[in-house]
Amino acid sequence: MAFISLVISYLIGSISFSYLIAKKIAGIDIRLHGSGNAGATNTLRVLGKGPAILVLLLDASKGLVAMGIGYLITGGNLTVYALAGACAIIGHNWPAFFGFRGGKGIATTVGVAIGFSPVSFLVAGVITLVVIAVTRYVSLGSLVFVTLLPICLFLFEDAIIFAEVSLLLAVFAYARHYTNILNLLSGKERKLGEPVHRNLR
């Protein structure tokens, strides 16, 4: 049952709401526009605030739904509960339904963080929002969030598995933000609100 729940979690994560919403309202493949990322930030740049908020909420819900299913199927197994969240993020980043070309997993990580600990989410989230507000770098804020999350979970939660899995989530995030990190270091990273060429081709 644990294996089945993790597979289900991956498949839930593989639903690319950014792709589906962009197709529905604009008739485009979001991965061929803006930064090419199938996530909330690129949706904001290409389609605006409304679709971006919707994508953010739906992507975050994937993590929570996957964790809830894992918890119910296994009768409250916390290890499966935590790993289900990780599998949902893997699905978001490398979706089976969309040629394994997905997003960077931050919105889904937000949902997983809420499932782990609302307190840890709030502490890491508030600091992240301050960083984004000051620097206008969403990528930097995302990396701050995934870095702080395991620290907060270690401090505020008794279930050590949550902190351990959140370290894995941080690895995912840093790997997916490799180009952003290089751009940040070279001063080439695009700030929030800066214009972007809509089509990559």
Do residues 44 and 22 make contact, with C-beta atoms less than 8 angstroms apart?
no
The predicted-structure confidence for 53-84, as pLDDT tens digits, reads as follows 999 999 999 999 999 999 999 999 999 999 99
Q: What is the pTM of this model?
A: 0.90
DSSP-derived secondary structure letter, 103: -
A 10 A CB-CB count for 192 gives 15
Q: What is the pLDDT of residue 140?
A: 96
- Cα-Cα-Cα-Cα dihedral sign, residues 38, 114, 72, 84: positive
Percent of the chain with pLDDT over 90: 83
Most distant CA pair in the chain, distance:
49
| CA 98 – CA 194 distance, rounded (Å) | 28
| CA 113 – CA 145 distance, rounded (Å) | 10
Q: How confident is the model at residue 182 (pLDDT cuts 50, 70, 90)?
A: very high
| CA 147 – CA 152 distance, rounded (Å) | 9
**Phi, psi of 199, deg, nearest 5:** -110, 130
The predicted-structure confidence for 106-150, as pLDDT tens digits, reads as follows 999 999 999 999 999 999 999 999 999 999 999 999 999 999 999
